[in-house]
Amino acid sequence: MINEQDKKYLLDSIRAIKDFPKEGIVFRDITTLLNNKEAFSFLMNHLEQKYKDKNIDYIAGIESRGFIFGAALSAKLNLPFVPIRKPGKLPSKCLQESYSLEYGQDTIEIHIDAFNNTQNAKVLLIDDLIATGGTAIAAVKLIQKLKANCFEACFLLNLKDLQGSEELSKFTSVYSVLEV
């Protein structure tokens, strides 16, 4: 697994920007981790080791940063990747799930044949961070609507104070590499 020194290494590779996008928020900018080939490779190797023997059928990533980690991990594990996107971005027939945000509503979509109509496909959901959990819960519900099993949701960062991982854990197992 990953030790405290390794966690510090990864966290130090993520830029923290105070008061963005508004005062009182500390934005975690993962572009600096992506721009650090050693840190990004270390992270992806860790995730590969964690999930290589889990008999996963698909990896699903949430738009847009979940695409980066999900597609990279899919390539490492030789698994298909399924994008979960904002409305109007996927070209074929989709299912939608709406969810509440602190400032309103939002919606995400998945292709109806995302898991090739496989019953009980074992799916790993991945995104860069979990905050309040609304988007991730909606993604799990979409996976379930397609009769697949989201066995775990994986995040680089868990913003603990917002308690999204606690809410999401009511629907699936949650793994976060880092907590802030």
* Active site residues per annotation: 65, 102
- Phi-psi category of 99—alpha, beta or left, where left has phi over 0 and alpha has psi -120 to 50? beta
